[in-house]
Structure 1
């Protein structure tokens, strides 16, 4: 595979090279808070649903949009944020995003109504969209090519840690403070991160960005927002045949098709569509999307399995995710060594199968399955993620010229975000529909006005059963059995998606390649941190 960065890339300047691991620590710090906050909110949803003064009295729909408003804005703006980072400077984009994320967190902590919380979460998503692509783009510009796989492995590992640490942190905060503390905890972290960014991170940008592509930017934002909105709404109402859902998804796909056509014809495109002609690049993008489709869908149903079926607290269920985090923390930085020995194709194929196997393993669990078996599944799943995500992310980033690192990172993260949103929506709909069908006959004992509401989810069934007193106890075990059955169906579907990803990388990713000694062809002269922008040489 020809490498657009190539060996013509000038080495990273000594002043930056000496601080590269400190810079990576700051980048991880920035990424950690953005990813952690998304998972920490899930723990607080039940508290936010309680009436004031303990909560906001949010309805189920308002709670869903408190989560989804972040995802919608984040995914819609992500690509544009990466492109702007290449143009105005990645450190500027990082500082802007962190500051906006901090402001949104402060406002969300003191929101008075559910509507305000939804709006402030959207503001946080806007800020987060500038942070995530900038962290990976800066990483590519401060590490030499030979060290990039290891650095990307650490970057990927920090994402896994954040996903697992969120529920644990949220459980601890809610045990001692009010619900707003899950947002207020971000403020000291953001302030510390901003100071570290200004002092430590060097500036870098595309030295020849060309003219801005305003039409391309508008088309990408509108297309992604419409697509993600349709996906979220379809999952929310568990009906992808709803006219509004179909119209939103279709309109989003049409606008994105116009975006691709415009980019192909533009003399100054925001995104080089030609990147997708490289099979390795396209395969890596597909692998990221499919893995997060499966992973986010399973994360969604496993929370209810642990809390509603097994009766664990949010804090206890968060602790059970530790193997998922620890494996990524320790194994992801080591993935490059395995890839050097066996090749990206073999490593990614085997590791994605290792993700699929524990997903299928959920299809054999029930209410009384020993916890150690669950922990084993999380360990294998985390290991598979740790050895698959760094190589595919490296493949994506090293396929592109270094001066396009921001847009490349945004492409990677956009497909991951859309894949995750699809996973929650599609697999969540499968879970909901299967549960409703399985529990339907058992709900015949309820008044007609309560049957539909009780069949929406296991939480709704158990809540209504609880209000019925002793008479409602007959619904508890059937509801748990119905949910376990629905989880089995959903788990096998998720495993099939992960196996599809394994098949794609097995065919299209490059195998084991020897280090290149000569020069590789380069479409453009690459840029290093020292050659671009106002480098900070402290």
Structure 2
């Protein structure tokens, strides 16, 4: 814990007035820059999802490859968020944020020029390292700069950008893909990262925790091992077989890593993440809410954008616009959600949010190849509104559970639950989808040569290409069977997300305190 006597107002050469004494105009500038940096790294997860069909065609990637193209970023991102937050607390948040943006930008530039799916996956992982340094710094700098009376609204804006930035990236990517290849998505990310880096240099104050502890390298390695191995097993299970040796070994390594993480952290004098923090009911409930809603949202993004393009025949840009109601709902209600929670209590507001998300997923679960746009519109709007009412109070519950000097760890905990939820959403829901799709697509491919049959089972993109080559009645039959397999797989996956949201929401409402905790005080000094 940080020393309470230092407070927010200690001065330094880096910030003569003290970060907590910044004027309203400077605070707004900091908020804008932090939201830009946040939007860049969050948008990377979703911008690529709209490009997945183009990448599958250009790189010859199957569903498992595509999941890794997305998840290589997310696994490293989630696994290193806690060390990233601790680095900022110890060495200075502004410097760590700048380093993260630089790594992210360079990795994105490299991805734009490679031709092999293996290199794409590797560079996506490197970009995840940069993102893990960026995301916790954005929230911890915001909570450092804004006084307690304004912090809730600033966090609400930040929370809205986590969804709005993701959706904005979908639209930008869709527009680029109308004119250019998928590589243009990475070029734009380089430009945005450079703009955010300049903004941070100009506007962001320097801050760090005066009593920051030594880094827990062992805890960081165990967290990466646990998350990465589990995701590998979940993603590769449908393709390699759930009883195959690599999948079982990965499961065992993942479980062992996560189990070992707890006693390791309990024995550390300065743990990366003290498991005892989860005794705070608000912190535990907030982490549960964010994990569940992110799992549902990112899982739907991964499958829904493919559905809109490959089943309904939307262009990438039209597909992006089609799910914009999700962003509208989230950004419309996120800034006001903390005020509503203070008035009516956190439990009913979070419960309402999770119920709205579940309702949106229930609508999505009945989509088929003949569905029009109306159910997509209704489902996306319900999900976005639910995310606003559930995630914003949950974020505030997490960051107010720890003192200001530990805001790097608090924001990293908030971020890791969100990113871990996103990774698990793509991995788990993608795996459920892939299992159903491969099983039903095998029936549609019956009688075809083995190479063609395996390609059809790999992805809908390959199945439709082969159907076009066949032509005639057999080609039409194959295309219809593949589309039916896709919608069946998506329905099973979305129902899995529905179950997670309902169960997670019920548990979170039971744990959630009636009112948000008052922000703690603690040491937080300028560089």
Same fold (TM over 0.5): yes
Indicate the residue corresponding to 1:258 in structure 2: 260
CA distance in 2, matches of 1:5, 1:159: 31
CA distance in 1, matches of 2:111, 2:185: 9
Q: Are residues 246 and 411 of structure 1, via their aligned partners in 2, closer, same or farther at CA, if it must alter by over 3 Å?
A: farther
Indicate the residue corresponding to 1:331 in structure 2: 333
- For structure 1, which segment, 259-268 or 63-72, has the greater mean C-alpha deviation from structure 2 after superposition? 63-72
Q: Are residues 9 and 374 of structure 1, via their aligned partners in 2, closer, same or farther at CA, if it must alter by over 3 Å?
A: same
Q: CA deviation at 1:398?
A: 0.5
In the alignment, structure 1 residue 527 sits paired with structure 2 residue 523: yes
CA distance in 2, matches of 1:220, 1:481: 39
In the alignment, structure 1 residue 436 sits paired with structure 2 residue 438: yes
* Contact preservation (8 Å) 1:161, 1:328: yes
- Counterparts of 1:444-523 in structure 2, within 5 Å, are 444-470=446-472, 471-512=474-515
Q: CA deviation at 1:239?
A: 4.2
In the alignment, structure 1 residue 138 sits paired with structure 2 residue 141: yes
Indicate the residue corresponding to 1:23 in structure 2: 30
CA distance in 2, matches of 1:381, 1:61: 27
CA distance in 2, matches of 1:5, 1:377: 47
* Contact preservation (8 Å) 2:64, 2:235: no
Q: Are residues 115 and 42 of structure 1, via their aligned partners in 2, closer, same or farther at CA, if it must alter by over 3 Å?
A: same
- For structure 1, which segment, 441-450 or 345-354, has the greater mean C-alpha deviation from structure 2 after superposition? 441-450
Indicate the residue corresponding to 1:90 in structure 2: 93
CA distance in 1, matches of 2:240, 2:33: 40
Q: Deviations over 1:25-80 (max 9, x none)?
A: 00000011111122222333444455xxxx55666665443333222322222211
Q: Deviations over 1:102-129 (max 9, x none)?
A: 1112222222543433332222111111
Q: CA deviation at 1:380?
A: 1.0
* Contact preservation (8 Å) 2:3, 2:211: no
- Which of 213, 218, 237 is the aligned partner of 1:234? 237
CA distance in 2, matches of 1:238, 1:7: 57
CA distance in 2, matches of 1:158, 1:300: 19
Q: Are residues 240 and 416 of structure 1, via their aligned partners in 2, closer, same or farther at CA, if it must alter by over 3 Å?
A: farther
* Contact preservation (8 Å) 2:20, 2:147: no
CA distance in 1, matches of 2:4, 2:300: 39
Q: Are residues 124 and 8 of structure 1, via their aligned partners in 2, closer, same or farther at CA, if it must alter by over 3 Å?
A: closer
Q: Deviations over 1:185-242 (max 9, x none)?
A: 123322222122112111111111133333333333333333333334336x274443
* Contact preservation (8 Å) 1:360, 1:494: no
Q: CA deviation at 1:183?
A: 1.2
- For structure 1, which segment, 430-439 or 196-205, has the greater mean C-alpha deviation from structure 2 after superposition? 430-439
* Contact preservation (8 Å) 1:356, 1:498: yes
Q: Are residues 292 and 239 of structure 1, via their aligned partners in 2, closer, same or farther at CA, if it must alter by over 3 Å?
A: farther
- Which of 154, 174, 186 is the aligned partner of 1:151? 154
Q: Deviations over 1:446-470 (max 9, x none)?
A: 3455334323443333222112121
CA distance in 2, matches of 1:439, 1:125: 33
Indicate the residue corresponding to 2:15 in structure 1: none
CA distance in 1, matches of 2:55, 2:305: 17
In the alignment, structure 1 residue 215 sits paired with structure 2 residue 215: no
- Counterparts of 1:377-388 in structure 2, within 5 Å, are 377-388=379-390
In the alignment, structure 1 residue 34 sits paired with structure 2 residue 27: no
Q: Are residues 60 and 214 of structure 1, via their aligned partners in 2, closer, same or farther at CA, if it must alter by over 3 Å?
A: closer
Q: CA deviation at 1:429?
A: 2.0
Q: Are residues 352 and 360 of structure 1, via their aligned partners in 2, closer, same or farther at CA, if it must alter by over 3 Å?
A: same
CA distance in 2, matches of 1:81, 1:129: 6
Q: Are residues 234 and 423 of structure 1, via their aligned partners in 2, closer, same or farther at CA, if it must alter by over 3 Å?
A: farther
CA distance in 1, matches of 2:396, 2:98: 24
Q: Deviations over 1:312-332 (max 9, x none)?
A: 112111111111112212211
* Contact preservation (8 Å) 2:2, 2:209: no
* Contact preservation (8 Å) 2:295, 2:426: yes
* Contact preservation (8 Å) 1:353, 1:384: yes
In the alignment, structure 1 residue 404 sits paired with structure 2 residue 411: no
CA distance in 2, matches of 1:281, 1:100: 31
State the secondary structure of the residue aligned to 2:99.
helix
- Counterparts of 1:113-132 in structure 2, within 5 Å, are 113-132=116-135
Structure 1 regions of 5+ residues with no counterpart? none
* Contact preservation (8 Å) 1:16, 1:142: no
CA distance in 2, matches of 1:436, 1:36: 29
Indicate the residue corresponding to 2:354 in structure 1: 352
CA distance in 2, matches of 1:191, 1:93: 15
- Counterparts of 1:56-135 in structure 2, within 5 Å, are 62-135=65-138
Q: So what's the TM-score if we normalise by structure 2?
A: 0.91
Indicate the residue corresponding to 2:50 in structure 1: 43
* Contact preservation (8 Å) 1:351, 1:384: yes
Indicate the residue corresponding to 2:189 in structure 1: 186
* Contact preservation (8 Å) 1:4, 1:399: no
In the alignment, structure 1 residue 198 sits paired with structure 2 residue 194: no
CA distance in 2, matches of 1:481, 1:212: 51
Q: CA deviation at 1:425?
A: 1.9
Indicate the residue corresponding to 2:272 in structure 1: 270
- Which of 296, 312, 323 is the aligned partner of 2:314? 312
Indicate the residue corresponding to 1:245 in structure 2: 247
Superposed CA RMSD: 2.7
* Contact preservation (8 Å) 1:75, 1:228: no
- Which of 351, 376, 379 is the aligned partner of 2:378? 376
* Contact preservation (8 Å) 2:83, 2:215: no
In the alignment, structure 1 residue 415 sits paired with structure 2 residue 417: yes
State the secondary structure of the residue aligned to 2:176.
helix
State the secondary structure of the residue aligned to 2:335.
helix
- Which of 7, 13, 27 is the aligned partner of 2:20? 13
